[in-house]
């Protein structure tokens, strides 16, 4: 089969012929129909994340937003049959036995395996996955629509649950990219008033299309004042989907007293934090890593009901390296999905 293979960090992917995997016990083989390109793919390819770099498999097939059709099933697989429409997320496998798995926090499992990181992912014609961690796709959701929800949609949905977003609250979303534009829709679906913040006018236009009530361009350097004024003291929840240090600095100055900062985007450098401000405002900080299988089912159900829809651009599989370069330069709006 053809696959886009990363042989060394910070080098271009090579499209080459590799053996088609064979599903073992408890596994399924999926013919890839669509594979979303996530910012995490770029970070992994560049080797920028210190925690993941040592465990990243090389050579590696990236891609953890994979949608396709079951081609074959391994021994003991009863929940799927050949022809089923399925999705493969970031979480390839979790042990189900540790304290975190038992408390419903399987993304914290220390034994977990990660699609497109510790095992080969979906930038290929076929991908092998654990049946236990593969999701069935709603019939009314296309492969292209479903793919970005397997990471981007799931990630912001889980973060909102952890931040306890409720109807009537004011929610600020920093960064209207692949994650941010979905966060806006999900917050609106919960009945919140949404403030979208970015430095690009085209992304703020996308925010308005997604239902944002207020949009603020942060390029002026006074965004925190504009946000406070627009929300009567600051948002109840501030979610940062950008990996920008400046976004976090502005977000921390914008939160309402007793409000919550939801950390989604991972900045490559440390962010200054005033303990005086934290104590004085009684702020809460919530970190969130992707999401559970149950949360993924909930996101797919919302999409099937038409409550969240990803802005996608499809590209041929052969253009994967160009897409990563455009992502690195910040030239993408919405989400790119590769078609095999």
Does the pLDDT of residue 269 top 90, yes or no? no
Q: Do residues 117 and 99 share a domain? A: yes
How far is it, in rounded angstroms, from Cα 286 to Cα 288? 7
What CATH number should be reported for the domain holding residue 132? 3.90.180.10
Res. 332 pLDDT band, cuts 50 70 90: confident
Q: Do residues 180 and 268 share a domain? A: yes
Q: Do residues 134 and 172 share a domain? A: no
Instruction: Record the tokens describing residue 115, joined without a space.
Output: 């699609």
Residues 270-307 pLDDT 10s: 888 899 999 999 999 999 999 999 999 999 999 999 99
- Strand 260-263 to 284-287 pairing: parallel
Does the pLDDT of residue 268 top 80, yes or no? no
- Over the chain, what is the mean pLDDT? 95
pLDDT, position 36: 97
How far is it, in rounded angstroms, from Cα 13 to Cα 109? 29
Does the pLDDT of residue 323 top 90, yes or no? yes
Instruction: Record the tokens describing residue 253, joined without a space.
Output: 């100055």
pTM: 0.95
Q: Do residues 98 and 193 share a domain? A: no
pLDDT, position 146: 97
pLDDT, position 266: 87
Q: Do residues 190 and 329 share a domain? A: no
Q: Do residues 184 and 197 share a domain? A: yes
Q: Do residues 124 and 167 share a domain? A: no
Q: Do residues 274 and 333 share a domain? A: no
Q: Do residues 30 and 131 share a domain? A: yes
Q: Do residues 251 and 267 share a domain? A: yes
- DSSP-derived secondary structure for 276-313: HHHHHHT-EEEE--S--HHHHHHHHHHHHTTS----EE
Instruction: Record the tokens describing residue 272, joined without a space.
Output: 């200054």
HSE toward the beta carbon, residue 252, CA cutoff 13 A: 19
Does the pLDDT of residue 118 top 90, yes or no? yes
Say if residues 140 and 86 touch (Cβ distance below 8 Å): no
Residues 62-107 pLDDT 10s: 999 999 999 999 999 999 999 999 999 999 999 999 999 999 999 9
What CATH number should be reported for the domain holding residue 180? 3.40.50.720
pLDDT, position 330: 83
Q: Do residues 120 and 212 share a domain? A: no
Q: Provide mean pLDDT across the span 127-136.
A: 98
Q: Do residues 185 and 227 share a domain? A: yes
pLDDT, position 243: 86
Percent of the chain with pLDDT over 70: 100
Res. 142 pLDDT band, cuts 50 70 90: very high
Angle 70-109-290 from CA coordinates, rounded to 5°: 65
* Residue 122: domain span: 2-150+309-339
Largest CA-CA distance found in the chain, in angstroms, rounded: 60
If one counts the domains in the chain, the total is 2
pLDDT, position 95: 97
End-to-end CA distance of the chain: 11
Q: Is residue 53 part of a domain?
A: yes
């Amino acid at each position: 089969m053809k696959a886009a293979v990363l042989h060394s960090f910070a080098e271009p992917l090579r499209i080459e012929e590799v053996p088609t995997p064979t599903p073992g016990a408890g596994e399924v083989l999926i013919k890839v129909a669509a594979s979303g390109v996530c910012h995490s793919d770029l970070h992994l390819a560049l080797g920028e994340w210190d925690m993941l770099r040592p465990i990243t498999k090389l050579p590696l097939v990236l891609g953890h937003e994979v949608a396709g059709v079951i081609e074959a099933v391994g021994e003991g697989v009863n929940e799927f049959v050949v022809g089923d429409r399925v999705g493969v997320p970031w979480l390839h496998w979790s042990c189900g036995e540790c304290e975190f798995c038992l408390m419903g926090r399987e993304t914290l499992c220390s034994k977990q395996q990660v699609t497109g990181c510790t095992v080969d992912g979906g930038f290929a014609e076929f991908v092998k996955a654990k049946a236990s961690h593969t999701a069935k796709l709603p019939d009314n959701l296309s492969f292209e629509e479903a793919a970005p929800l397997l990471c981007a949609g799931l990630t912001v949905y889980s973060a909102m649950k952890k931040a306890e977003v409720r109807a009537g609250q004011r929610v600020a979303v920093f960064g209207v990219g692949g994650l941010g534009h979905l966060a806006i829709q999900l917050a609106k679906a919960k009945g919140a008033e949404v403030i979208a913040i970015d430095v690009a006018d085209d992304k703020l236009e996308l925010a308005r299309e997604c239902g944002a009530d207020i949009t603020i361009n942060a390029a002026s350097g006074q965004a925190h004042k504009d946000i406070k004024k627009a929300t009567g003291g600051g948002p109840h929840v501030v979610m940062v989907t950008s990996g920008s240090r400046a976004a976090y600095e502005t977000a921390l100055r914008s939160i309402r007293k007793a409000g919550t900062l939801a950390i989604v985007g991972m900045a490559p450098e440390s962010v200054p934090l005033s303990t005086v401000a934290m104590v004085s405002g009684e702020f809460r900080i919530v970190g969130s890593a992707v999401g559970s299988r149950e949360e993924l089912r909930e996101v797919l159900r919302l999409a099937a009901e038409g409550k969240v829809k990803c802005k996608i651009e499809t590209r041929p599989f052969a253009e994967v390296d160009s897409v990563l370069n455009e992502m690195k330069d910040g030239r993408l709006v919405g989400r790119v999905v590769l078609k095999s």
